[in-house]
């Protein structure tokens, strides 16, 4: 039946939703594990009480609102990538080894995943979702892009913001 997934043949709507929920849960947990490790080992977080740890908050939110939790943890991992953008190669290598030793995708792997998503946005020439918006924004804020790419990032962000803001304003007025 899996070979029919692309066409949807033989798969009920209920089965599709179950697969979607499983994929969301799986991705959320993988990213949460990365965030938890990154937060605990590489961020100066002072005295964050255990109940306020970002991973705990994400897991609690995932129980109530899985899609929102996924969006939030994607943004948080984007912040980690931005935070580590200027790390020397030896620090990235050490982080990669430590993450892999705990069965968590490496920082380099996360950077590759996020850069692939940004490349898709570049090729399309348009930000299509809020998730993409925050990904592009994190990359622009990192200020590590060449000037031509930085200009494209800023243009994409401005176009998305201009397209979304009027709709948000109209929605607020109609309430």
pLDDT of residue 37: 96
Q: What is the DSSP letter of 145?
A: S
Tell me how far apart the alpha carbons of residues 50 and 158 are, in angstroms, rounded to a whole number: 38
Question: What confidence score (pLDDT) does residue 102 get?
Answer: 96
Structure confidence at residue 107 (pLDDT): 94
Q: For the segment 4-45, what is each residue's pLDDT rounded down to a tens digit?
A: 334 444 555 565 555 678 899 999 999 999 999 999 999 877
Counting as low any pLDDT under 50, the low residues of the chain are 1-9, 169-175
Q: How far is CA 173 from the centre of its chain?
A: 31
Residues 85 and 11: their CA atoms lie apart, in Å, by 42
Write out the two tokens for 44: 């100066």
């Amino acid at each position: 039946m899996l070979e029919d997934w692309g066409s949807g043949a033989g798969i009920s709507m209920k089965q599709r939703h179950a697969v979607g929920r499983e994929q969301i849960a799986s991705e959320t947990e993988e990213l949460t594990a990365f965030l938890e490790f990154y937060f605990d080992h590489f961020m100066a977080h002072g005295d964050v009480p255990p109940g306020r740890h970002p991973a705990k908050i994400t897991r609690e939110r995932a129980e109530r609102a899985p899609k929102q939790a996924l969006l939030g943890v994607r943004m948080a991992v984007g912040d980690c990538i931005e935070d580590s953008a200027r790390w020397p190669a030896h620090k990235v290598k050490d982080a990669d080894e430590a993450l892999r030793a705990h069965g968590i995708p490496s920082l380099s792997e996360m950077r590759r995943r996020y850069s692939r998503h940004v490349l898709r946005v570049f090729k399309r020439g348009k930000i299509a979702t809020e998730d993409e918006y925050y990904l592009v924004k994190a990359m622009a804020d990192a200020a590590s892009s060449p000037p031509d790419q930085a200009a494209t990032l800023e243009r994409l962000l401005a176009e998305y913001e201009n397209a979304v803001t009027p709709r948000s304003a109209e929605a607020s007025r109609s309430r």
